[in-house]
Homo-oligomer: A and B are copies of this chain.
Amino acid sequence: MRRQVAPGTWEVHARVERFVEPVVLLLLSERPMHGYELLERVPGLLRDERRLDLGNLYRLLRSLEEEGIVDSEWDSGLPGPAKRVYRLTDAGRALLAGWIGALRDARGVLDAFIARYEVEGR
C-alpha cells in the first residue's frame, strides 16, 4: 500500500476493500466462467493496482456459492482438465447492484477528497 522509494518520494497504492468480489460478480454477470478464467480476467478490471491471489479467489468463489450468490457445475466437456463453471444467481445480481451503489458512493468520497486537496494552492 505504501513504501518509500527515495527520500521525498512515496509509492502509494490505494485500493478498495474486497474489490475482487464485485469484479468477479461483474464478470460472471457478463457470462458464466470457471475460476481459472476469472484468474486471467479479473486483473483487467483491477488495473494492476493489486495482484490477485489465486488461493483467495477459489475460496471466495466457494463462499459465494455457500451464500447462494453464484452456483456452479463441473464441466468436463471442453478440452483440458475439468472446470467448475460458475454462474451468477438472482441473489448475485442483486448483490452486484448493491456493490455498484456502494462504489458510486466511494467515488464521491474520492472526488470530494481530491477536490479539497486541489483547492489549496498546489
Contact = CB atoms under 8 A, between A and B. Distances in A.
B113 A23 contact: yes
Q: How many copies does the complex hold?
A: 2
A52 interface: no
A12 B117 contact: no
Interface in A1-20: 1-2, 7-19
B105 A49 contact: yes
Contacts of A45: 109, 112-113, 116
Given A23-B113, A100-B117, A113-B23, A14 B94 contact: no
> Is chain A's binding surface mostly helix, strand, loop or mixed?
helix
A70 B112 CA distance: 23
A84 to B, nearest CB: 23
A22 B26 CA distance: 29
Interface of A: 1-2, 7-19, 22-23, 26, 29-30, 45-47, 49, 90-91, 94-114, 116-117, 120
